Structure 1
Amino acid sequence: MALQQLLRTSLLALGLVLAACGKSEQKPAGPPGGGMPAPEVGVVTVQLQDVGLVTELPGRLEASRVAQVRARAAGIVQERLFREGSDVKAGQALYRIDSAPYQAAAASAQATLARAQANLGQAKALAERYRPLVEANAISKQEYANAVASQKAAEAEVAAGEAAVRTAQITLNYASVTAPISGRIGRSLVTEGALVGQGEPTPLATIQVIHPLYVNITQSASEVLNLRRAMEQGRLKRSGDGTQVKVLLEDGSAYGQAGRLLFSDLQVDPTSGQVALRAEVPNPAGMLLPGMYVRVLIEQAKASNAILLPQQAVTRTQQGDSVLVVGADGKTAPRQIKVGGSQDGHWVVVDGLKSGEQVVVDGFQKLQMMPPGTPVKPVPWNNGKPAAAAAPAASAASAPRS
C-alpha cells in the first residue's frame, strides 16, 4: 500500500510539471486587452485662400458677324460661282446676273454724256467770241448774257450726264453679286435661271463669321442682384477685366479653348426676368456651330479667405451643409458650413471652418461601423487616393511558423 501511494504521488507531481511547461510555451493570440486599432480616414487640411466663384449658366452660340447676300439688280441668275458651305472672301464674286440690259443702259448714258460735252464745247466757244464784241459794243449785252447762260446750262448737262454714267455703271456692277464680308457661306437660296430682284432685293445666301463665335448667356436677375449686394458688402470681390469663360458642350465635355466675357446687359428682360450676357469664344477649327446649346462656366467674383473642399467631403441636406472635422483628441465631430459655389469639382466654403483644421474626405463607411466617439487615425488624402491601411495584427499572429 505504501508503494502504491508513493507511485500515485509521483505521477501526480509529473503531471503538474508537464502542465506548467505547456503553459509557459503558449503565445498570446492577440494584442493585450483585445483592443482594435484606430480606423484610418483620409483628411484634407484647411487652407484659406482667394477662390473664384464659378457660375454655370445656359447659353446659345451665335455667329459674330452675319450678312445676307441679296440681289440688288433685277434679272435672271446665269451662274453660281461658289461652293455651298465653303469659306469666301470679301469682294469675291458669288452670282452672275444677266447684265445685257444694264450694259445697254450704261452705253446710253455714255452717249448722252458725249452729246452734253459737245454742246458745252459749242456754248463755251460762242461765249468766248462774244466777250470782245460786247466790250466793243459790236453786240448787245443781252446777246452776250444769253451766250454765257447757254454755256452754264451746257456745263450742268455735262455734270448730269457724268452722274448718269456713274449710276449706270453701279447698276451694271450689281449684276455681279459679290460677298459683303469674309466668312463661311451657307446653301444657295436660288438656282440658275431664277428671276431675282423684282420689287425688292432677293435673298440669295447667308455668310457667317464663325471664328470667333458669340455665346449669348442668360442669368436670373435675382442672382445678379445677390452677387452685386455681396460685392457692395465686401463679402466678395469683383473679378478682373476680361473674365475667362469655359464652354461645356451638350454631351457634358469641355471645349478645348477658353473664351472671354464681353459685357453684361444693363436691363432685365421683362418677359423672362433674365439678364443677358455675351462672351466670345475662339473657333479656329470650326467645331462649334451657330445655334448650338452650351453651358458656360463664368468666374463672376472672388471670395476672400475661402476654402476649397472636395465635394465628397460635404454633406448637403435641407437642414444645411456639414462636414466631419477631426479634433485634437482624434475624434470626429460634425460642423455646419456655408457653401458659396463650386470650382473644378470642389465646393467653395466661405464660413464654418478655420485654417489648419482637418476635414474627413474618405473613410465614412469605417466610421459607420464604429460606435460614436471612436478615435480615428487621420492620414493625408491625395487626390482621392488615401494612404494604405496598416495590416491587422491578427494576420501576423496567424502566420505559419517556419
Structure 2
Amino acid sequence: MSKNLFAPFCLLALTLALSACGDSAAEAPEMPLAKVRVETLEAKPLAITSELSGRIAAPRIAEVRARVAGVVMQRVFKEGHDVKQGDVLFRIDPAPFKADLDSAQANLSKAEADAFKARLQEQRYSQLVEGNAISGQDYDNARAAVRQTNAEVAANKAAVERARLNLGYATVTAPISGRIGRALVTEGALVGQSEATPLALIQQLDPIHADLTQSTRELNDLRRAFRAGSLKQVGQDQAKATLIEDDGSLYPLPGKLLFAEISVDPGTGQIILRSEFPNPDLDLLPGSFVRVRLEQAVDKQGISVPQRAITRDSAGIPMVLLLDAEQTVSQQPVELGAVINDRWIVSSGLKPGDRIVVEGLQHARPGEKVEVDDSPLVKE
C-alpha cells in the first residue's frame, strides 16, 4: 500500500521540476548585439598616385678638360667642395703661351708697319699716275699691296687673339656651378697632348632630378581614363611628387614632375618621367635608387575607406562589411587602388552613401544584426 502511495508523489515532483525548467528557459535573456562603428562613404576629389622607382641624376654635369697642352702647375680647388662658375681650378704652365702671345703681337706690329708703308706708297703713286709719271701697272701694284698688307694685319690680329685665348686656357676655370669631385690629374702631369684631358667632374646637386620609369600599359590606362572623363589630368607643373627614402621615410621637401620622355625603351616597354626635388642639404646623391609617389590624376568622385576596414577572404580578395538599413551585416568584395594617408582608394564595389564597418569587425558576422556605436570617430 505504501508503494502505491509513493508513485503518485514521485510523478508530481517530476512534473513540477520540468515545469520550473521550462519557465527558466523561457525567461532567459537574449544575447546582446555586437557593437560596431561605421562610416558613411562620401564621394570627393581624390588624387590618383603611382609609386614609381628610379634613380637620382644631376641636372647639369660638366667634365673639366684641358683645352691646351701643357704641364699642370697647381690644383687650386678643394676636392668634394662647392665651386662657382668661373672659379679657378687648375693652372697650366703659362710660359709657352706667353711667348706665343708676344710673338703674335710682334708679327702684328710688323704687319701694321707694312700696311702703313703700303698706304703711303699708294697715296704717292696716286698723284704720280695723274701726271703720267708712273705707269698704271705700278699704281695698280701699289693698290694691291695695300690690300695685301691689310689682310696680313687682320690675320696677325687673329693670331694674337688665338694666342691670348690659349694663354687664358692655361688657367682652367669651372664651366658651371656645383660640387666638384676628386682631381683626375696631379701637379706635374702633362695634359692635352693628343686630346682634351679630363681634369675633374662638376655636378649640380641643388635642385636635383629623379628619373623614374613607368610602364606604357599604366600610362595608356590613365590616358583612356582621361578621354572617358572618369579622371582629370594633373598638369606637369601641378603634379606633386613625394620621394620615399631607402628606409621607408618620406623626404621632407616636395618635388614636381618636369616632363615625360617622348620615346619608349624598346627593351623594357617603359617610359622615363623626370621629376625635380630641392636638395639644399645634398642628401640626395646621383646614382641613388629611390621610389617616388607621383600624383598623376584626380578622381573627381573618388571613394576611399580606412585601411583597417579592409579584410580578405581565403582567396585574398579584399572585402568590406556593409550595413543595410536593418543594421544587418553583409560582405562586399571591392577593388582597391593606391593608399593615400592610410586610406585605400576604392576603384569599384562601393558607392556614396554606403555604410561600412570600421571598428568591431571581429564581432560582426555576415547575416547578423549589429548595434551601431554613434560616438564620434577619431579622424584619420
The 8 Å contact of residues 362 and 381 in structure 1, kept in 2 or not, is answered as no
Displacement of 1:342 in angstroms is 2.5
Answering whether residue 259 of structure 2 is matched by residue 263 of structure 1, we say yes
Alignment of 1:229-244 (within 5 A): 229-242=224-237, 243-244=239-240
- Counterparts of 1:178-197 in structure 2 under 5 Å? 178-197=173-192
Q: 2:336 aligns with which of 336, 339, 342?
A: 339
Report the CA distance between 1:174 and its aligned residue.
0.8
Cα deviation per residue 1:217-250 (whole Å; 9 max; x = unaligned)?
0011111122212222222221234111110011
C-alpha distance in structure 2 between counterparts of 1:241 and 1:247, whole Å = 17
Q: What amino acid does structure 2 have at the position aligned with 1:276?
A: I
Q: Find the residue that maps to 1:210 and give its secondary structure.
A: coil
**Match for residue 373 of structure 1 among 368, 372, 380:** 368
Amino acid in the other structure paired with 2:80: G
Provide closer, same or farther for how the CA distance between residues 224 and 299 of structure 1 changes in structure 2, counting only shifts above 3 A: same
What amino acid is aligned across from residue 170 of structure 1 in structure 2?
A: L
Cα distance in structure 2, aligned partners of 1:357 and 1:372: 17
Q: Which residue of 2 aligns with 1:203?
A: 198
Runs of 4+ with >4 A deviation: 316-319
- Partner Cα distance (1:115, 1:145) in 2: 23
Shift of 1:43: 2.1
The alignment partner of 1:334 has SS state of strand
Match of 2:123 in 1: 128
Distance in 2 between residues matched to 1:319 and 1:96, nearest whole Å: 68
Report the RMSD for the aligned CA atoms in angstroms. Answer: 1.7
State the match for 1:217 in structure 2.
212
Distance 1:180 1:279 in 2: 25
How many percent identity over aligned positions?
46
Comparing 150-159 and 321-330, the one that deviates more: 321-330
Is residue 280 of structure 1 aligned with residue 289 of structure 2? no
The structural deviation recorded for 1:319 is: 6.5
**Residue 74 of structure 2 is aligned with which of 61, 76, 79?**
79
For the Cα contact (< 8 Å) 1:51–1:304, is it kept in 2?
yes
Given that residues 303 and 350 in structure 1 are in contact (C-alpha distance below 8 angstroms), is that contact kept between their aligned partners in structure 2?
Answer: no
Normalising by structure 2, what TM-score? 0.88
**Residue 246 of structure 2: SS of its match in structure 1?**
coil
Aligned residue pair count: 351
Report how far residue 351 of structure 1 moved. Answer: 2.8
Kept in 1, the 8 Å contact 2:236–2:256? The answer is no
Matched AA of 2:212: I
Structure 1 residue 316: Cα displacement = 4.2
Q: Deviations over 1:29-77 (max 9, x none)?
A: xxx7433433322322211112111110101110111111001111111
Counterpart in the other structure of 1:34: 29
Task: Output aligned runs, 1:1-400, within 5 Å.
Answer: 33-242=28-237, 243-316=239-312, 318=315, 320-367=317-364, 373-379=368-374, 380-383=376-379
Provide the rounded CA distance (Å) in 2 between the counterparts of 1:337 and 1:319.
Answer: 11
- Secondary structure at the residue paired with 1:139? coil
Q: Distance in 2 between matches of 1:316 and 1:172?
A: 75
Q: List gaps (5 residues or longer) in structure 2.
A: 1-26
> Are the equivalent residues in 1 in contact too, given 2:207–2:279 (CA < 8 A)?
yes
Contact 2:236–2:259 (CA under 8 A) maintained in structure 1: no
Alpha-carbon separation, structure 2, partners of 1:240 and 1:215: 18
**What amino acid maps onto 1:325 in structure 2?**
L
TM-score, normalization by structure 1: 0.83
- Which stretch of structure 1 is more off in the superposition, 190-199 or 309-318? 309-318
Q: Which has the larger radius of gyration?
A: 1
Deviations 1:320-340 (A, max 9, x none): 432101222222111122323
SS of the residue 1:366 aligns to: coil
Question: Structure 1 CA distance, aligned partners of 2:52 and 2:276?
Answer: 15
Q: Following TM superposition, by how much is the alpha carbon of 1:360 offset from its aligned partner in structure 2, in angstroms?
A: 1.1
